[in-house]
Chains A and B, each alone.
Chain A
């Protein structure tokens, strides 16, 4: 049998694509009458609800799903042939997006929804995941596994919120969130670099410590403060003049709140730093072959501390998104696994900033879909849509979407 048909990754993904395409079409065509229309509305930038739309795109629900399914099957057959460049990863990404699109079309059949609003929401919701992924990239490119991002975000969210309550200024809160993440991550740095503890354990310790500390602070500091009347407000949206009034692109990219902008800036900036500067070269070297870097006079330990510290600050910033940007509020375990999802986005993006953003957008599209659909009468129980990001994370980790090679030295303490 060894010469016969083998179920390699390419074929598994292609078959999955065909099965998903057929299943989607089958379910939608059996559930939705053939004459139903799903309308995607495109609004003007900064439009009020009463304003007329820029355009309404009426899509016959069943026919659209049929076309998407056919395209997916065609793509599956193409990659099944296996000639030329390996497009499996891209196909898998497209498959997830297509599935989300089909569910959206299905859910709004006979009605309409503002698609620009959904895309803008995707960017917003991608913020903490992308920032967390950047934090992961910084650590792992330097050879340190950081599964503590969840805990760092939570800590950042909590201390940032407290600072905002005390100062009445959410910008100060954001700053403290960044510093809080940077401080707590040093526990991970010291445990894994100085004491050479298993990095998964020390990361888990941070996650557990964060749950405990933030829960304690919430009960013993935040609640007394709020009951004494301390309040504040979310970081306000800053529409970029001119750019924000461009139709479609304006609302999606240029009308956001500060943390989202910072994410949009940090992605290209990190790309530049990582691949075009001396710091980036050294960082990539200590994550792949620390001894080689050491013999060239690079301070491996010092650079690892530095990068882990930066990563912590970035995760802290992601935390600020939760408590100061998405809402002005702090809840126990409000990060809800986003730190782990960020790691999946990092892996999906092959440890590159732009790739990580792509990964983050896949997850945030699942989130945005779930939020969008809440307003519609939809057959699928909401809990199953809520599971989607977590299921996708497992799929990403299982390497179905790609089996990239992590930096070679991660997880190994550096011994002189």
Chain B
């Protein structure tokens, strides 16, 4: 009776599933770029100022194609054309990795944090203030302190919607957006008021102390700073937290089936608050790393559209913390190359926003991509993030 049945090997990673979701992501990007090209072809004709409207001849067609080549060519060269471009792509990718992780962690808990923007703003501000407030602290204290200030204020800004969602049912999609607007007004007040650098004519905070700055990795010629390493490490930390700890088990369970989680003794409130706090903290770190590594002070709330970008990144990576890294790098490349694209072709940087929205559509609605490219339908159930407005 002791013949123990052959225990089946525990599947470490579902390679097949991973491969198809990677394929879907790539096809989503491809489709979005194709439609983006269509937008360029349609609008570049009418928008070019030296052509009279209404003339649609062969020259116009050719000119449109020319603009398209210039645009996407510029995009590519700008992103990856030389070592400095690559370094800049990685610089751009740094906050994206962290903010993408923030959104992905929210998804894992069944929460849709679309307010990473506000959390980044709060984190940036706090890091800038903490970095400038002290003089003469050793780096080993001052830098972590400034980073921590960013993390904590981002975490606070995230925890509030988490608490409201758990306790009152107020949907985080709206409360986080509202907190974005509140953060912008608050920062506007702080930058013009209490924390204004009086030595400057423009409203901004004072420069952070040398000891609070993230060092450049390859010298000041390349803007790549140590924040990039922090972001990489955080991706692995979050992966470990989610998959190898009881904290992550609870967060994932609450996200997958809140009723079952409650039944099993987990606290929805605690996990919502915790997940949103970690999420906000990651976004705050994204802001802090940009301020401490790159800007070295904080100017009137920069709204780089990080909040929406990070949603696209999290969806592209299927909320897999490790997958966030390449997705964020791709995004960094797009953003970094956009400048040269505009310079070369006159196509607005906003094209990237359109591509971004299309990528989100195609990844979120992966049935569409599977349907267009005749891929097999996904098994299992669609993740549901919404349970109405009520609790």
Contact = CB atoms under 8 A, between A and B. Distances in A.
A384 B189 contact: yes
Counting chain A CB atoms within 10 Å of each CB, the highest count among B308, B384, B386, B389 belongs to: B389
Interface string B343-358: 0000111111111111
A190 to B, nearest CB: 9
A387 B185 contact: yes
Contact of B114 (A204, A219, A403, A410): A204
A207 B193 CA distance: 32
A324 B261 CA distance: 51
A216 B388 contact: no
Given A147-B173, A209-B358, A399-B168, A384 B185 contact: yes
Nearest to A409: B388
A83 B267 CA distance: 34
Interface stretch (B12-20, B175-183, B235-243, B286-294): B175-183
A397 B360 CA distance: 27
Counting chain A CB atoms within 10 Å of each CB, the highest count among B168, B348, B388 belongs to: B388
B275 to A, nearest CB: 17
Given A145-B388, A198-B385, A398-B164, A209 B185 contact: no
Interface in A225-272: 227-228
Interface size class of A (residues with CB under 8 A): 35 or more
A381 B1 CA distance: 80
A336 interface: yes
B384 A195 contact: no
A196 B389 contact: no
A213 to B, nearest CB: 6
Given A216-B350, A406-B388, A393 B178 contact: yes
Nearest to A337: B181
Contact of B193 (A216, A220, A381, A410): A381
Contacts of A224: 47, 49
Contact of B174 (A187, A191, A397, A411): A397
Interface residues of B, number: 57
Interface in B288-315: 305, 308, 311-312
Contacts of B380: none
Given A220-B43, A406-B388, A204 B112 contact: yes
25 contacts: A145-B389, A191-B365, A195-B367, A195-B368, A198-B382, A201-B385, A208-B311, A211-B305, A213-B350, A213-B353, A215-B348, A215-B350, A216-B354, A220-B350, A228-B49, A337-B177, A340-B174, A343-B174, A390-B178, A390-B182, A391-B178, A393-B178, A394-B170, A394-B178, A399-B169
Given A204-B114, A209-B354, A390-B182, 5 more contacts: A201-B385, A209-B357, A340-B178, A387-B182, A399-B168
Interface of A: 145, 147, 187, 191, 195-202, 204-205, 207-209, 211-213, 215-221, 224, 227-228, 336-337, 340, 343-344, 347, 381, 383-384, 386-387, 390-391, 393-394, 397-400, 403, 405-406, 410-411
Interface of B: 39, 43-44, 46-47, 49, 112, 114, 164, 168-171, 173-175, 177-179, 181-182, 185-186, 188-189, 193, 305, 308, 311-312, 347-358, 360-361, 364-365, 367-368, 382-390
